[in-house]
Structure 1
Amino acid sequence: MKNKAAPQVSIIVLNWNGWEDTVECLESIYQIKYPNYEILVVDNASQDDSIPKIKQYAQGLVTVESGFFEYNSLNKPLEVFEFPEKEYLNPENIKTDLNPIPSDKKLILLLNNENHGYAKGNNLAMNFVLDKLDSDYILVLNNDTVVHENLLLEMVNAAEEDVNIGCVTPKVYYYDYKGRRDVISHAGETFNLYIGRGKRFCKDQVDDGQCDQSRPVDTIEGCSILFKREVLEKVGLFDPLYFAYWEDTDLCFRIRENGYKLLYVPQARIWHKIGVSWDSYFSYFVIYHYLVRNRLIFMWRFASRLQKTTFSIFFIFYLLANIILMLLKEDLETSKEGLRAISDGINDFRI
């Protein structure tokens, strides 16, 4: 870092029935070139053997094979600090001082008693960090990602340049796009409230330097967001009303409404296994939470009256097209999910 000690970063990785992705993600983090971080895995009551496998990884008993790095056994075993939800919700009861232990020698496990979803699951971990740890930044990172060794160095350096920067996003590549690793998934996004849709820069393009300029953006994808501590303390965390999807967009808008900037930093890079948590794009869960209900909640919250009007016209045609598509596939249940989500999206916003 520039003439001062590196700010401390807490990295939160949410796991739910995905230990193989999680340990690959963890191994990539433990190989980063940054001197002051800690890793927290928050588990949403996984029903597989995630916790035993993650512990075995920490002991050095599970090696990780990846095309992105060579497994490093030299920092194993890791010292594991395990806290069930009832315990870590009251950080004052935790007497262990977690801060002095070296970054690459410890792993904090937070064990939730149920599947709280993306929003609340990450919130519980972020509250633990804010209450118990001395971190200057919190990085929320999907477990189905692999990070470049310079990720934190580039993101923190960029965030430190301007007090008005609230959060930072890296350049996100597809983990595997038809055998390629240089295809961009996300390089920041603009968002149009008149139609309720975002437009990603350089999406699905082979990286040839066309998105190598840092820029302010409207929204940041939730797979990797670096937040300043004071911003979260002022603005708040994810809204658990969403459960999963659109909570990241909601928080980005609240951060911007409070006068902060969102910054895309192309020198920081990750690779994302897009959609591994979806059974299929048109699964009931995605139709219900992502395409319909949560989009409506977000739009009702942030759009002006004119924007709501234009969005409603656009969305009706968009939704009908998807329902017709499902009917053509003789998928009546998914079509019903879409219609039910309209009602819930409007009613839930009133909560």
Structure 2
Amino acid sequence: MPKVAVILINFKDYAKKYLPECIESLRKQDYPKEDFKIFIVDNATSRETEEYLKNIAPEAETIPNEKNDGFAEGNNIVMRRLLNSDFKYIVLFNMDTVAEPSWLLELVKKAEENPTAGAVQSLILLHPETKKINSTGNLFHFLGFGFCRGYGEEVANFKSENLQPFFYVSGASALFPVKVLKEVGLFDSLFFMYHEDTDLSWRIRQAGYNLVLADKSIMYHKYQFSRSVLQFYYMERNRMIMLFENFRLGTLLLILLPFLVMEVGLFGYALLKGLAKGKIKVYGYFLNYKNWIRMIKNKKEKMKLRKVSDREIAKLIVGKVEFQEIANPILNYLVNPTFNFYWKVVRNFIFW
């Protein structure tokens, strides 16, 4: 069987909450034990956390990291090391999850059956509501908002053959061929957390690869929807960086008007929810010319990589956000219909 690396990220007491059940599910995998290896990156490591990880998961290689590099660079630490190894696939796996015994085998099987797949995502269900869906692949709004397709729906009604292509894989359970990562690069370490999986998936698509759902690779995610000032900052900043770096200039000009309208709405939302400090910090980030130099450099590198036009990418992008956790009358009856209509019209003018 192909050799596979499975990466988990820990931060402080996260492992004490989630690792025992998670690692036990990995021990029960049908995949040959000699053909996959578990790596645990311990962000902001301490003697206590390092010892705990080694005791609870002795079969894993624990990698202490003095800094808290977040999800993005935390995974990069291992992925960078494995690019020139004999591992064929790298799998990212959240610690707050539990996998079915066939999870890894089905994930690899789907990758082997699809040589043009640049990434493969599992069928992610909720926990403890294990009969409901967390994600069947994630969708992407033209203003940079990502959300889980099928969230909260009954898995009994799920039919994979009826699904349309999705835009990006969830980092909670995703497989990447090493050869693809060598070509398109790893996570942008600046992102720290949020949208790093979207940005990488976008690059993979731009390079001409497909993204695939392994519907028989099942895992359960103890998903919690939350928003703090810091989380809001990373989500908003990374959303804007991602749009600028991946869309061509013409596309950015086409979405500028709704982008500005949305900014007014988002600032009002931030004020109401006590998140305004995060939004102001985002604007401060873009007032620093050094950050623009970095973004322009990244954009040029991404443009060199791309084999797929914005016109083709736009076919995978949606004009409305359908996510139960943020559903409200204003979104459902005003924002979504207006922006969806706008996107359906303007994407016909994308010829590049």
Q: What's the TM-score once normalised by structure 1's chain length?
A: 0.76
Which residue pairs with 1:296 in the alignment?
A: 240
CA contact under 8 A between 2:53 and 2:62: conserved in structure 1? no
CA contact under 8 A between 2:118 and 2:211: conserved in structure 1? yes
CA contact under 8 A between 1:188 and 1:217: conserved in structure 2? yes
Which residue pairs with 2:74 in the alignment?
A: 121
1:229 matched to 2:178? The reply is: yes
For residues 167-186 of structure 1, what are the structure 2 equivalents within 5 Å? 167-176=119-128, 180-186=129-135
- Residue type matched to 1:206 in 2? E
- Residue type matched to 2:197 in 1? D
| CA separation of 1:286 and 1:258: change in aligned 2, threshold 3 A | same
Instruction: Return 20-29 or 195-204, whichever deviates more.
Output: 195-204
CA contact under 8 A between 1:32 and 1:150: conserved in structure 2? yes
1:11 matched to 2:10? The reply is: no
Which residue pairs with 1:338 in the alignment?
A: 279
Deviations 1:47-92 (A, max 9, x none): 583222222224xxxxxxxxxxxxxxxxxxx4xxxxxxxxxxxxxx
1:273 matched to 2:222? The reply is: yes
1:285 matched to 2:230? The reply is: yes
Number of matched residues?
Answer: 284
- Residue type matched to 2:293 in 1? R
DSSP-derived class of the 2:78 partner: helix
DSSP-derived class of the 1:42 partner: strand
1:313 matched to 2:282? The reply is: no
Where in structure 2 are there 5+ consecutive unaligned residues? Answer: 295-352
CA contact under 8 A between 1:294 and 1:345: conserved in structure 2? no
- Residue type matched to 1:255 in 2? I
1:207 matched to 2:155? The reply is: yes
Which residue pairs with 1:92 in the alignment?
A: none
1:350 matched to 2:303? The reply is: no
DSSP-derived class of the 1:251 partner: helix
Q: Distance in 2 between matches of 1:48 and 1:142?
A: 22
- Residue type matched to 2:99 in 1? V
- Corresponding residue to 1:109 among 42, 62, 66: 62
Deviations 1:211-233 (A, max 9, x none): 43376421111111100010001
- Residue type matched to 2:244 in 1? W
DSSP-derived class of the 2:83 partner: helix
Q: Distance in 1 between matches of 2:100 and 2:264?
A: 41
Q: Distance in 1 between matches of 2:4 and 2:207?
A: 23
Q: Distance in 1 between matches of 2:256 and 2:115?
A: 36
Higher helix share: 2
Deviations 1:91-150 (A, max 9, x none): xxxxxxxxxxxxxxx32111112111111111011112224x411100011111111111
Identity rate of aligned residues, in percent?
Answer: 30
DSSP-derived class of the 2:155 partner: coil
- Residue type matched to 1:203 in 2? Y
For residues 78-227 of structure 1, what are the structure 2 equivalents within 5 Å? 78=58, 106-131=59-84, 133-176=85-128, 180-193=129-142, 195-213=143-161, 216-227=165-176
Q: Distance in 2 between matches of 1:14 and 1:345?
A: 29
DSSP-derived class of the 2:220 partner: strand
CA contact under 8 A between 2:54 and 2:62: conserved in structure 1? no
CA contact under 8 A between 1:9 and 1:135: conserved in structure 2? yes
CA contact under 8 A between 1:11 and 1:40: conserved in structure 2? yes
- Residue type matched to 1:160 in 2? E
Q: Distance in 1 between matches of 2:287 and 2:86?
A: 40
- Corresponding residue to 1:27 among 21, 24, 29: 24
Q: Distance in 1 between matches of 2:172 and 2:147?
A: 17
Deviations 1:312-340 (A, max 9, x none): 134213312312313xxxx4xx3122122
Deviations 1:287-319 (A, max 9, x none): 1111x1111111111232234414413421331
| CA separation of 1:322 and 1:40: change in aligned 2, threshold 3 A | same
Q: Distance in 2 between matches of 1:49 and 1:211?
A: 45
Q: Distance in 1 between matches of 2:47 and 2:269?
A: 34
Q: CA deviation at 1:30?
A: 1.3
Q: CA deviation at 1:191?
A: 1.8
DSSP-derived class of the 2:176 partner: strand
DSSP-derived class of the 1:168 partner: strand
Q: Distance in 1 between matches of 2:99 and 2:180?
A: 24
DSSP-derived class of the 1:11 partner: strand
